[in-house]
Amino acid sequence: MSIVKDRSLAESGRRKIQWVRDFMPALGGIEARFERERPFAGLRVAVSVHLEAKTANLGYVLQKGGAEVRLTGSNPLSTQDDVAAGLDSMGVETFGIHGATAEEYEAHLIETLRFKPHLVVDDGGDLIHLLGGKCADLGENLIGGCEETTTGILRLRAREREGILPCAMMAVNDAKAKHYYDNKYGTGQSVWDAIMHTTNLVVAGKTVVVAGYGWCGKGVAMRASGMGANVIVTEVDPFKALDATMNGFRVMTMDEAAALGDVFVTVTGCKDVITPRHFEKMKHNAILTNAGHFDCEVDVASLAAMAVKREIRRDSIEGYTLPDGRVLNVIGEGRLVNLAAGNGHPAEIMDMSFSVQALALEWLVKHRDELEKKVYNVPDSIDDEIGRVKLAAMGLHIDALTEDQRAYLNGWKA
């Protein structure tokens, strides 16, 4: 049933999957327990996350836990064809081809849902969008699901407010293991890994404009500064702007920053962050990238309409020549740069996030009779368990509160 580009690539894909498995010890421990206890026996799980090695490992772990798994990507440009073939060869039905058209991409999503899943793992809300609309008939068995992006959770909460959420959903992005670790350190490293590998340019001495100072923006700005860049932050939230200022970054509007930046990274979860009026002010050879989930933060369509010439300048870099001769360079078509032009977050980072996914799905199954169609926060017990496992895997130890200390913190008489 799988739809992959070339099954002869399977060996390369399996090597990639095995490599990340060796560096994901927390998820490995969960896999061992899942294999013993089989918490998903008799259940079907649909997964739509960037189709690369770490995601493949999550799908494999869920299968080891007794689930029938179908897995697809959440962005055509982040799908790795060898990983898709490798996962298919490991017995997980896989639907995804790098560079798929919008129509093909949706068809892959629908094939992933066609077996009427009990559980979903979503990244950006594509599965839930279908299950709440044209594929509602495929959701008759739904227990619940997980969403791991800021953008996706915003849409889930909007659906909940309107009473049209198709099932209970866990806000995995809001878990401590996700936003403290994945969003800040994973995004911070993987964005710059993709930009540096794709451009082969130095970061030190450049002016970097980071749009958005949430957890992801903090990581992007921190890593840029650490490599010697001069960092400007743009924001709409006054307290995030103050936070950026206190961390030593210049804060201004995008209108002001447009003329100053050498590299732009949008990471807001909103649309129209960089638009034609900003393009008109930018330096020759400015580099435009997006690290938010959807490709609407940099208005690439308007840039194309303004340009008198478009050309591929390097793999994953397209240059747009404006009437005055300036060239603006867009990486990865304005899609999620760390995956459209890179390998995504490091394995050790996704070890934490995918451990949350696995345990959150298990929680949904255990509480299936109590669930309402609303967005649930990940219980602290899951977060804390993953944090302890990760510390142990890194050979680190922390103190524990005594009973007297607990009483002191929880009471008022002392």
User: Per residue in 252-288, pLDDT tens?
Assistant: 999 999 999 999 999 999 999 999 999 999 999 999 9
Put simply, whether the predicted model's pTM sits higher than 0.75 gets the answer yes
Average per-residue pLDDT for the chain = 96
Q: What is the pLDDT of residue 181?
A: 85
**What would the pLDDT profile of 8-55 be if each residue is shown by its tens digit?**
999 999 999 999 999 999 999 999 999 999 999 999 999 999 999 999
Q: Hey, what are 146's tokens?
A: 């997980």
Reading the block at residue 43, the tokens are: 């259940």
**Burial, 247: exposed, middle or buried (Cβ in 10 Å; 0-12, 13-18, 19+)?**
middle
Cα–Cα distance for residue pair 149/329, rounded to 1 Å: 26
pLDDT band at 227 (very low <50, low <70, confident <90, very high): very high
Domain residue extents for the chain: 7-174+345-393, 184-335
Does residue 168 register a pLDDT over 90?
Answer: yes
Q: Which amino acid is at 46?
A: A
Residue-level pLDDT at 294: 86
- 7-174+345-393 has CATH 3.40.50.1480 classification: yes
Does pLDDT of 414 surpass 80?
no
Distance CA 279, CA 326 (A): 10
Mean pLDDT of 192-209: 98
CATH code for the domain defined by 184-335: 3.40.50.720
Is the pLDDT at 119 greater than 80? The verdict is yes
Domains 7-174+345-393 and 184-335 share a fold: yes
Please tell me the predicted confidence (pLDDT) of residue 413: 80
Task: Show contacts of 178-181: CB within 8 Å, 24+ apart.
Answer: 178/148, 178/352, 178/353, 178/356, 179/215, 180/215, 181/349, 181/352, 181/353
Q: Give how far Cα 391 sits from Cα of 25, 144, 178, 195, 306, Å.
A: 11, 30, 15, 30, 51
pLDDT confidence of residue 180: 82
User: What does the pLDDT average to over 191-208?
Assistant: 98
Q: Give the other-Cβ count within 10 Å of 406's Cβ.
A: 11
Which phi and psi angles does 325 have, rounded to 5°?
A: 95, -10
**What's the whole-number mean pLDDT along residues 232-250?**
98
Q: Is the pLDDT of residue 7 over 90?
A: yes
